[in-house]
Structure 1
Amino acid sequence: MLAEIKGLNEECGVFGVWGHPDAAQLTYYGLHSLQHRGQEGTGIVVSDGKTLKGVKGEGLVTEIFTSDAMKELTGTAAIGHVRYATAGGGGYENVQPLLFHSQSGSLALAHNGNLVNANSLKHQLETQGSIFQTSSDTEVLAHLIRRSGFAHMNDRVKNALSMLKGAYAYLIMTETELMVALDPHGLRPLSLGCLGDAYVVASETCAFDVVGAEYIRDIMPGELLIINEKGLTSERFAVSSTKAICMMEYVYFSRPDSNIQGINVHTARKNMGKRLAVEAPIDADVVTGVPDSSISAAIGYAEAAGIPYEMGLIKNKYVGRTFIQPSQALREQGVKMKLSAVRGVVEGKRVVMVDDSIVRGTTSRRIVTLLKEAGATEVHVVISSPPIKNPCFYGIDTATREELIASDKSVEDIRELIGADSLTFLSLDGMVKALGQDGNGGFCLGCFTGNYPTEIYPDTLQYYYQRG
């Protein structure tokens, strides 16, 4: 669906390069390919082997990294970040990578995810004298590294990482090395690639394709990968727990051309659509998907059901970020500006509208209305995931529990509210099996089931359930 309207947003994406003369330029292109993961801020920090220097700002990659800005970023190593603000909120100071300077050297951090024990760690660190410059949970790691008593940087980083709870894919850069870390559950995606003799790291493999890099492997849960002039070194900072990659990466967040944990995202979504056709057979004339993330599932549904797939909805790609607004009134206006129904396709037709999820229901109601105003005689809504009933604590903005329409309403209640002729959600089992897995298949399903792979700390619960 439309992330900036419907209120389902990924926190960020990260990209890193080591050992390339055009490191900043590669990072620019890598971040551009990850722009869907965050549009509120972006930054790049480069190393020339002696110093770290950064450029960052609030806005899109193309807005912040002008030709003049790129001239400032010279070096053979770089890390970059695109951000959607969840924990810590917005503001220039929270835009990453965060860059710290001290007499003993510099440190830059880029983080995808959310720490569920950030507040308790901050309180502990502040009582010990730390002064935080941002409200981002990312900064916690810098203080933990700095306060670690170990002599070597690798040991300091491992010790600091072992204190973190939650979801994190970290890029950590000093003047002389790049370190890559993934939480013990592997909640966020992170992959390693190469470009000639250079190494690249990215949240999604689509970034490798853009810069011409070759995929090597995924970063392992609990792994600290060190890249420097000696090459690659893999160490462990935690015993790998039960793998729990976020299911919403497949359902909604990642680009269709990315491979997450060896599974192609487009293929996964198409299989979800096929499963839906089996679970929700509908007598209809045409199938359409909500652009862009639901198109793959809609194609799968149409193929399995034997109903023609048509572009019944068109997305206006030229509406700017003015419409990324928090109020419901502006969300509804935003939907109208972002989407148009194609009358020539849907008029007089029974339409199956495929979407990836329903969060608040605002967008679904407006899209159903658009289709009926364009002449659709029936609109049957099918969703390629189960109802989202619980908040995500790991870096996805699924609002508070009260704002999740499925948290206290039945499927029939939701159907009435959005004005659909029928409403069907894909079953949990069907979603997992669409990815070729049985059981939970090594996925985090917390937003669907309420069962989370980590302990959730009381102060975090209080925030997400404060109005629920």
Structure 2
Amino acid sequence: MCGILGLLLHDASVDAAPEISEGLSLLQHRGQDACGIVTCGPKGRFFQCKANGMVRDVFDEKAIAKLIGGMGVGHVRYPTAGSSDHAEAQPFYVNSPYGIVFAHNGNLIDGASLLHSMDATAHRHINTSSDSELLLNLFANNLQQTGKFRINEDDIFTAIGGLMKQCTGAYACVAMLAGFGIIAFRDPNGIRPVGMASRSISSGRDYLFASESIVADALGFSEWEDVKPGEAVIITRSGVSKKRVAEHATFAPDIFEFVYFARPDSVLDGISVYRSRMAMGDALAVEVEKVLKERNIAVDVVIPVPDTSRVAALNLAQKLNLPYREGFIKNRYVGRTFIMPGQQMRRRNVRRKLNAMALEFSGKNVLLVDDSIVRGTTSEEIIQMAKDVGAKMVIVASCAPPIRHSNVYGIDMPSRAELVAYGRNTEEIAEAIGADLVVFQTLPDLIASVRQFNPSISTFDCSVFTGEYVTGGVSEEYLRQLESLRADNVRNKVTVDSQGGSHESEVGRGNGFRNGENVVASSGPINGADDTVGLHNTWNVS
């Protein structure tokens, strides 16, 4: 899961980087491994800074000051394909044709065959294992087929339409063409989110693309509009062009965005994340009440697992007429454990992240409400913490059904063996995580909780619960390959510069990185682009 952002200011003399950095900080929950910004300044010259680390650490005042230009693209990343190597920090860049910068959220299923095609047919070098770089080169190659010195909107729409025919998977993308404008597009099923907004200024309008509407709200943009499935949007200082460039497909946004990933103050595809989580709590209360009556169990207090489940837990407590208490105090300087690499790191950081207050647990039958149970690492540690401070009985209620299948669309839970619900029934799950009882939301109730706020969406991607993949093309062989790539024992072998330090770029083939070297461009220009689209760019080592 990643966060993407594109910004075009009407006044080209005003630098976009400060607002892009602020916007990325609002998307930090979507990725904490790496972040990057590339801006486009005078004469189409690109300036970039990207590195491993959090937005606040990478983009200090000095770094932002070097990012010149009135339009730019930003990205926050946690890897679901490829490695945690900071050479894979985004946005990516190719100099041919025209100079293109690219940021991507999602995952391709057919990456291996596409990679072969790029090598054998297009003769384009893909320098990393990231499918984001692969997407960029597909787009670039399609543009190159025009053979034009200068391209127009129709050429771009045609190139993106061709890309959507070539690719299978989930992707929301933001791109920037040197001296031209910014572009966003979304996969034909609309699995991953991206939207746009505008802001009126005295001389015209500024435009924004972002993964979530919260960025628009915080930066003073209005008229938020989701990019439609299979749609491409091009924004230049002359205006906005939109076109559906893909054949009709089932619109199926990922329901896990509403369960866990998105901020509660965002609106995705016309659905308030906050309201959907309230509805999840109401529906879960009915299921919890039924199970507790069957077992003849009385609950003394409802306690949320911070932070995502708070909204649902409060509604559940109100519906069941039970006391709601904050039993865990959270250290806000520890990242989201679910997206941390390695079981050992996740386990260790749970206790760094949360502290249980004995006052709320001692001698009580406690109902813990969580958004979901994925690997079970967090749940197991939290339950033990509750028992350590005197809880008599710990019951866990999950706002999501059991997660038993790999996610192939950009969420980091690919290995079925790592999922605590895989191959286990509810009683076995409870035993595995040390709970006295586990109650799961039913899938129909979860879907209804979200869909009621936009009935026009008939289908959601629920593949982690059902194993049914809306794009098709997900074979058992592919799942095994994905699991081998992303298993914890593989990821832990990757050496990562955890301090997020920048390094100067070196000229390689394709996108400026040498194979096998951990190099990432420091704040500085990528030189050579003219202010008209059409001049091939080269890297400039600052």
Q: TM-score range by the shorter chain?
A: over 0.9
Q: Residues 143 and 318 from structure 1, CA distance in 2 versus in 1: closer, same or farther, beyond 3 angstroms?
A: closer
Alpha-carbon distance, 1:212 to partner: 1.4
Report if the CA contact (8 A) 1:429-1:439 is conserved: no
Partners of 2:334 and 2:472 lie apart in 1 by 40
**Number of the residue aligned with 1:312:** 327
**Number of the residue aligned with 1:220:** 228
Letter in 1 for 2:53: G
**Number of the residue aligned with 2:371:** 356
Residue 76 (structure 2) pairs with residue 82 (structure 1): yes
Q: Which ranges of structure 2 fall in alignment gaps of 5 or more residues?
A: 293-297, 488-542
- SS state of the match for residue 263, structure 2? coil
Partners of 1:244 and 1:321 lie apart in 2 by 26
Letter in 1 for 2:447: V
Letter in 1 for 2:172: A
- SS state of the match for residue 167, structure 1? strand
- Residue 171 (structure 2) aligned to one of 122, 145, 168: 168
Report if the CA contact (8 A) 1:323-1:334 is conserved: no
Partners of 1:126 and 1:444 lie apart in 2 by 32
Residue 25 (structure 2) pairs with residue 32 (structure 1): yes
Q: Residues 236 and 382 from structure 1, CA distance in 2 versus in 1: closer, same or farther, beyond 3 angstroms?
A: same
Partners of 2:345 and 2:161 lie apart in 1 by 45
Q: Which has the higher contact order (CA 8 A, sep 6+)?
A: 2
**Number of the residue aligned with 1:60:** 54
Letter in 2 for 1:13: G
**Number of the residue aligned with 2:423:** 408
Equivalent positions of 1:253-268 (< 5 A) are 253-268=261-276
Equivalent positions of 1:26-425 (< 5 A) are 26-48=19-41, 50-102=44-96, 104-128=97-121, 129-148=123-142, 149-150=145-146, 151=148, 152=151, 153-154=155-156, 155-175=158-178, 176-196=180-200, 197-281=205-289, 282=292, 283-319=298-334, 326-425=341-440
Alpha-carbon distance, 1:229 to partner: 2.2
Report if the CA contact (8 A) 1:205-1:215 is conserved: no
**Number of the residue aligned with 1:15:** 5
Letter in 2 for 1:194: S
Letter in 2 for 1:449: T
- SS state of the match for residue 448, structure 2? helix
Report if the CA contact (8 A) 1:191-1:215 is conserved: no
Partners of 2:451 and 2:79 lie apart in 1 by 33
Partners of 2:338 and 2:448 lie apart in 1 by 36
Alpha-carbon distance, 1:26 to partner: 1.1
Q: Residues 322 and 277 from structure 1, CA distance in 2 versus in 1: closer, same or farther, beyond 3 angstroms?
A: closer
Partners of 1:136 and 1:466 lie apart in 2 by 16
Report if the CA contact (8 A) 2:197-2:224 is conserved: yes
Alpha-carbon distance, 1:456 to partner: 2.7
- Residue 453 (structure 1) aligned to one of 462, 470, 476: 470
Q: Residues 262 and 72 from structure 1, CA distance in 2 versus in 1: closer, same or farther, beyond 3 angstroms?
A: same
Partners of 1:112 and 1:181 lie apart in 2 by 11
Alpha-carbon distance, 1:325 to partner: 5.4
- SS state of the match for residue 234, structure 2? strand
Q: TM-score, normalised by structure 1?
A: 0.93
Alpha-carbon distance, 1:230 to partner: 1.9
Alpha-carbon distance, 1:162 to partner: 2.7
- SS state of the match for residue 72, structure 2? strand
Q: Residues 257 and 324 from structure 1, CA distance in 2 versus in 1: closer, same or farther, beyond 3 angstroms?
A: closer
Report if the CA contact (8 A) 2:229-2:251 is conserved: yes
- SS state of the match for residue 396, structure 1? coil
Alpha-carbon distance, 1:64 to partner: 0.9
Partners of 2:170 and 2:260 lie apart in 1 by 18
Q: Residues 407 and 132 from structure 1, CA distance in 2 versus in 1: closer, same or farther, beyond 3 angstroms?
A: same
Q: Residues 330 and 29 from structure 1, CA distance in 2 versus in 1: closer, same or farther, beyond 3 angstroms?
A: closer
Q: Residues 181 and 440 from structure 1, CA distance in 2 versus in 1: closer, same or farther, beyond 3 angstroms?
A: closer
Report if the CA contact (8 A) 1:323-1:330 is conserved: no
Alpha-carbon distance, 1:268 to partner: 0.9
